Chains A and B, each alone.
Chain A
Amino acid sequence: MTAATPLQARLAEARAADRAALIGYLPAGFPDPASSIRVIEAMVAGGCDVIEVGLPYSDPTMDGPTIQKAADRALAAGTTPADVLRVVEATAATGAAALVMSYWNPIDRYGTERFCADLAAAGGSGTITPDLLPEEAGDWFAATDAAGLDRIFLVAPSSTDERLRSTTAACRGFVYAASLMGVTGTRTQVADTAEKLVTRTRAATAETRLPVCVGLGISTGAQAAEVAGYADGVIVGAGFCQRVLDAPDLDTGLSAVRAFAEELAAGVRTRR
């Protein structure tokens, strides 16, 4: 049995406190590499337990317009995988658990073993790979195991029970439940597919009690509270990016980000 990662520790703490964990996403390098660290510090100061550090990619097929814009800005600012790892290091230094969220090709290109070793060395807990299916992930299992990293795959409302079983069995840390059939971005209400998926996923993980965290379309404290009623973690991304995009300057953006994180942090402690 390997030692618990910071991610596993944060999720266990939240579970012990009978609340959901708050997981915030930001592309590294958005709006530029140095400023992205300050945004993440504001997210953690406002109450994020876990940060998904995005590796910005040129072809983000699962992201809606807001995160596309943020990733474009990060790439235009010259963000490289080395910058991403520096942001991970700074994130881990805040006390929050740091994950990397990346489309597969940049990791494939970097080299899976080297990526895992460097991520672990930077203090990262693991990865979320939204376009890597477990059946294509042979080398990835060995590389993440060797580095002691958590390995998070996604399940969706369209997943069959059989796939819920096999995909959650491939996960370590938590399983990312996509609340709806669609891309990232804010929505006016939580999809009614979310709770049903969590229930089905829990049935598939009855033995391991793998934490189930829900993302896509959650962007208010009330929505966070609603999802916290049935999930172990609430994942928010576009709402943070939008506040930075809307702000006339970085300091205004940081205040808005922190206030938003506080609103969500209150939500995950309410559990409606």
Chain B
Amino acid sequence: MTSAPPAASADAGGHFGRYGGRFSPEALVAALDEVAAAWETAKNDPEFQAELAELLGSYTGRPSPLTDARNFSRHCNGARVLLKREDLNHTGSHKINNVLGQALLTKRMGKTRVIAETGAGQHGVATATACALLGLDCVVYMGEEDTRRQALNVARMHMLGAEVVPVTIGSRTLKDAVNEAFRDWVANVDSTHYLLGTVAGPHPFPTMVRDLHFVIGAEARRQVLDRTGRLPDAVAACVGGGSNAIGIFAAFIPDTEVRLYGFEAGGDGVDTGRHAASITGGSPGVFQGTRTYVLQDEHGQTVPSHSISAGLDYPAVGPEHAALADSGRAAYAAISDAEAMEAFRLLCRTEGIIPAIESSHALAGARKIGAELGPDATILVNLSGRGDKDVTTAATYFGLVDQTEEPA
């Protein structure tokens, strides 16, 4: 079921070229070393891999299908669009791949409590799910602002037995939830694993989370070859922290003829300053444990991010993406809220699939790639999550709420 994780692209300290590494308090070094060592052992342990593969198959529902989006393709200049259906995973997104792996690792390390951060609530729900399954205590930190915007996901986490702690400091969004999770971790590290939800943070998180999402690209590469007899011309994914994108990119990085495209959240437009496009509109710095592209002001203070998609609303990006951007192996561009929502609407109407607004950034990107590469191209899109959680946001955006309230 799972393929072997990729060969290390980082050095022993977790550096991807000049990016990555470990910028953390000394107090967490022992715990980070413990996680790194546990993961090195686990990923080479057939017993662990079998246990994870069993869960991915019978619980998550892997392999996720590959869908030929024949109607949506007409809106991509006729290019063939293949959707990797991570939206069909249990809990509704790719997040569960990483969560199950780290939850199993938590048990191997003999820890009984898991903490996590969440923005939109997808990672929080996935973590609460895995903890319910494996009998772990679960505390999820979530910006107070986000607990209001995503009340339904807060209720889901409660039903799954997790405690949700609203974070009332800073900008009260995802980055502040991460800060608070780190504060909890340093105080409770003996009993607790911090189940970080993306390919950011101090080493070993960027490589471990990448390894756990490698299954996306490994499956998709095989599925595309089986379906079309060749590799895709391009692979597209949305990028916030960048976990789904690294997951699908990693399998194709050695295939130099395959173009890799990461689409960041352009919000109101990168030139307005109201966006979450860290690579396109940020600069290299150190943030939350790693060196990477960050949205920051001239003094190195973090600039708040903006995106219609809560899952991409983060002012930095995983360090491996920073390295891929600098080397040119992957190209990154910003998709505005308006472009993402148009792609969201199109996929709903043409394919009967309601995508997550996060993934809609990748769909909007596929339209641009189609325009560039032409109708003979095949574009693999990571449909990283489903849009059930976004129905309120979308209904408000498209004015559907008002329409239903008006008399016929």
List A residues at the B interface (Cβ < 8 Å): 57-62, 64-65, 68, 72, 75, 80-81, 104-110, 130-133, 135-136, 153-160, 163, 167, 178, 181-183
Contact = CB atoms under 8 A, between A and B. Distances in A.
Given A59-B288, A61-B183, A181 B27 contact: yes
B59 to A, nearest CB: 33
Interface stretch (B18-26, B128-136, B256-264): B18-26
Nearest to A136: B21
B29 to A, nearest CB: 7
B27 A157 contact: yes
Contacts of A81: 299
Nearest to A104: B286
B182 interface: yes
B301 A75 contact: yes
Interface string B6-43: 00000001000000011111111111000000000000
Contacts of A75: 301
Contacts of B301: 57-58, 75, 106
The 9 nearest A-B residue pairs measured at CB: A109-B300, A156-B27, A106-B300, A182-B187, A158-B30, A58-B302, A105-B300, A58-B301, A105-B286
B298 interface: yes
Contact of B22 (A65, A106, A135, A157): A135
A178 to B, nearest CB: 6
B22 A109 contact: no
B189 A158 contact: yes
B179 A61 contact: yes
Interface size class of chain B, counting residues whose CB lies under 8 Å from the partner chain: 20 to 34
B287 A131 contact: no
Interface of B: 13, 21-31, 169-170, 175-176, 179, 182-183, 186-187, 189, 285-289, 294, 296, 298-302
A131 B24 CA distance: 5
Contacts of B288: 59, 61
Contacts of A68: 169-170
Contacts of B29: 133, 156, 158-159, 163
Contact of A159 (B23, B30, B182, B298): B30
Given A59-B179, A136-B23, A181 B170 contact: no
Contacts of B294: 105
B287 A59 contact: yes
Contacts of A131: 23-25, 286, 289
Contacts of B27: 154, 156-159, 178, 181-182
A130 B24 CA distance: 8
Contacts of A154: 25-27
B362 to A, nearest CB: 28
A183 B23 contact: no
B299 A182 contact: no
B187 A133 contact: no
Given A131-B25, A135-B13, A154-B26, A181 B189 contact: yes
Contacts of B287: 59, 105
Looking at A58, A64, A105, A167, which has the most chain B CB atoms within 10 Å of its CB?
A: A58
A130 B189 CA distance: 18
Contacts of B285: 105, 108-109
5 contacts: A59-B302, A62-B25, A105-B286, A109-B300, A181-B186
Looking at B21, B176, B286, which has the most chain A CB atoms within 10 Å of its CB?
A: B286
Contact of A109 (B23, B24, B179, B298): B298
Looking at B13, B28, B302, which has the most chain A CB atoms within 10 Å of its CB?
A: B28
A81 B186 CA distance: 28
A153 B26 CA distance: 9
A59 B170 contact: yes
A203 B234 CA distance: 58
A156 B183 CA distance: 14
A130 B25 contact: yes
Contact of B296 (A61, A105, A136, A181): A105
A74 B304 CA distance: 17
A66 to B, nearest CB: 11
Looking at B169, B176, B186, B187, which has the most chain A CB atoms within 10 Å of its CB?
A: B186
B186 A182 contact: yes
B60 to A, nearest CB: 32
B26 A156 contact: yes
A105 B21 CA distance: 14
A108 B300 contact: yes
A109 B29 CA distance: 24
B286 A108 contact: yes
Contacts of A158: 26-31, 189
Nearest to B168: A65
Given A105-B286, A106-B299, A109-B299, A156 B179 contact: no
A156 B170 contact: no
